[in-house]
Amino acid sequence: MDSNSELIKQVTAKAKGWLSDGYDAETQAEVKRMLDADDKTELIESFYKDLEFGTGGLRGIMGAGSNRMNIYTVGAATQGLANYLHEAFADLPQISVAVGHDVRHNSRKFAEIVADIFSANGIKVYLFDSFRPTPELSFAIRELGCQSGVNITASHNPKEYNGYKAYWSDGAQIISPHDVNIIDNVNSIQSVTDIKFKGNPELIEIIGEEIDAKFLDAIKGLSLDPEVIKRHADLKIVYTPIHGTGVELVPASLRNYGFTNIIHVPEQDIPSGDFPTVDSPNPENPSAMAMAIAKAKEVEADLVVASDPDADRIGCVIRDNNGEYQLVNGNQIVMILLNYIMLRNRELGKLKGNEYVVKTIVTTETIKAIAENQQIKMYDCYTGFKWIAAVIRDLEGTARYLGGGEESYGFLAEDFCRDKDSVSAISLMAEICAWAKDRGMDFNQMLQEIYLKNGYSHEEGVSVVRTGKTGAEEIQKMMKDFRANPPKKLDGSDVVLIKDYADLNVTDCRTGKVSKMDFPATSNVLQYLTADGTKVSIRPSGTEPKIKFYLEVHDTMAAASDYERCNKDAAAKIARLRKELGI
């Protein structure tokens, strides 16, 4: 029997188990359709493995099957989490959780099932009455004193996907040791009969507007220059939620700040899991911003902002020197926001010497230069906001968090929420635009001023996709080769440091000395740093079949007129680096 026949035999047996009475009629009909089909591709894809509950929860294509997002895979995840909560909080008389969801197909259904399962396990549930931004779920966990929380969302993935994000009592996504313990409990659910689906309505409380109001008030408290907003209240701000959860709260927050001229993209104000006007609902893609940019040209907007479907990531567009609307990259978004927050805190006399900011290791080093110039401590952490939240948790009560972000368009300006937040980031970005205008500058001139003061940098991300089993093996080999044969030079500049987060070793290439980095865990990330300030970071994606390269180059700007030259030189340098690295 060939391997494909054996695989079909295995998935057929597994699928037939889903025809039992434990599964609803709709699921059984879908499984039967796949079993009866001549082409077994869909059957194989749906059952060849179990959808894994990882450190970020679940994410997958919706449909029947063990490798799909459905009420049974969601149910097993929730039952496992409920079991662990009873272990972790055994002495607590009443465990409570908050549950939220985005606009995707089945998100409300999955959220209600999650609420039912928690309540069936004796856990109090605060369930949002409708879709909400992901950061509001994080806020609600802390505000309501919950021990955990779940958000049903697949962020900016294609419309076929959905996901399940698990949070801990601090409002952050789960890290060690809870992540491993929850995974063990989820994996122990061997049968659909282990899942308690029949909810207890008495333990489910619907929440909504009262949490919205508290969340928006807390975000308004982040404003650092209300007077400048009064002077520029009519700033032309185009905003699009890209059919997602930001549709109500982002404009409400902008109005709360005092802005009066919020211009919508009506076609994209319609919440829809089909994301009908875009190929991909990802604000870092120019195509997703096209309609907002067209609207900006029509009204001559000062600023264009967007949020992704679960409203945790921010997109931003500004006018360049030629008056054209250009996407601001994720590194620049973090840089602009942190520069403003640090600068205004200093101007307002709020700095006491114990403040800090956070960035991820693949985010621009210009942020470190800004922090040093402002004499503010900066911490590096791994990619993902759960690691920024971990820094906040470790320093809680001893130091004041000013903000943190990552190159993938995520920023968090507050500590009353512990996941990236586009609602606060967009509100502050509008304030920064007003602040720049008050100083006689447009947004692009303000960006140039940051580079003038702190040094110019340009960053580019490159993803090399390798699918399937052979692709995974190729990615593994690429990482092995980069470790075994590190470059001595990059674009003619000596590699002076190699940082390997897999063993936390830093090698000084000039002396051969090896020292250790202080990080809470290891990670499969490799970095090369050169004498001329170039930084190359390499890491396999944890959620997609790709290996990611983060390229960062630096230059000196003597005057604002150098900006275009720096951009051109940086683009050429990045092209040479890509050629050397074979990407």
Q: What is the pLDDT of residues 516-572, one digit of tens each?
A: 999 999 999 999 999 999 999 999 987 677 899 999 999 999 999 999 999 999 999
pLDDT at 185 over 70: yes
Burial classification of residue 231, based on how many CB atoms lie within 10 Å of its CB (0-12 exposed, 13-18 middle, 19 or more buried): middle
Say whether 337 sits in a helix, a strand or coil.
Answer: helix
Q: Which domains does the chain have, with CATH numbers?
A: 49-207 (3.40.120.10), 215-453 (3.40.120.10), 456-581 (3.30.310)
pLDDT at 467: 80
pLDDT (mean) for 314-323? 90
pLDDT at 5: 87
What digits encode the pLDDT tens for the residues 394-412?
999 999 999 999 999 999 9
The first and second tokens of residue 203, run together, are 């333990």
What digits encode the pLDDT tens for the residues 71-105?
999 999 999 999 999 999 999 999 999 999 999 99
pLDDT at 581: 96
Residue 384, phi then psi, degrees to nearest 5: 115, 135
Which of the 8 DSSP states describes residue 492? Answer: T
Higher pLDDT, 541 or 458: 458
pLDDT at 472: 82
pLDDT (mean) for 116-140? 98
Residues annotated catalytic, as ranges? 155
How far is residue 187's CA from residue 58's CA, in Å, rounded to a whole number?
A: 13
Which of the 8 DSSP states describes residue 433? Answer: H
How far is residue 59's CA from residue 306's CA, in Å, rounded to a whole number?
A: 23
How far is residue 206's CA from residue 125's CA, in Å, rounded to a whole number?
A: 8
**Residue 580: closest CA among 481, 499, 491, 460:** 491
pLDDT at 144 over 50: yes
How far is residue 439 CA from its own chain's centroid? 33
Distances in Å between the alpha carbon of 294 and those of 246, 254, 282, 501? 20, 21, 17, 43
pLDDT at 160: 96
390, 342 Cβ separation under 8 angstroms:
no
pLDDT at 2: 58
pLDDT at 470: 79
Most confident of 179-193, 471-485, 564-578: 564-578
How far is residue 399's CA from residue 181's CA, in Å, rounded to a whole number?
A: 30
Half-sphere exposure of 368 (CA within 13 A, CB side): 11
What digits encode the pLDDT tens for the residues 347-402?
999 999 999 999 999 999 999 999 999 999 999 999 999 999 999 999 999 999 99
Beta-strand relationship, 535-540 and 526-530: antiparallel
Q: Amino acid identity, residue 456? A: Y
How far is residue 566's CA from residue 149's CA, in Å, rounded to a whole number?
A: 46
pLDDT at 462 over 70: yes
Identify the band that residue 1 occupies on the pLDDT scale cut at 50, 70 and 90: very low
pLDDT at 3: 62
Q: What is the pTM of this model?
A: 0.96
What digits encode the pLDDT tens for the residues 222-261?
999 999 999 999 999 999 999 999 999 999 999 999 999 9
pLDDT at 54: 82
pLDDT (mean) for 10-14? 95
How far is residue 339's CA from residue 361's CA, in Å, rounded to a whole number?
A: 18
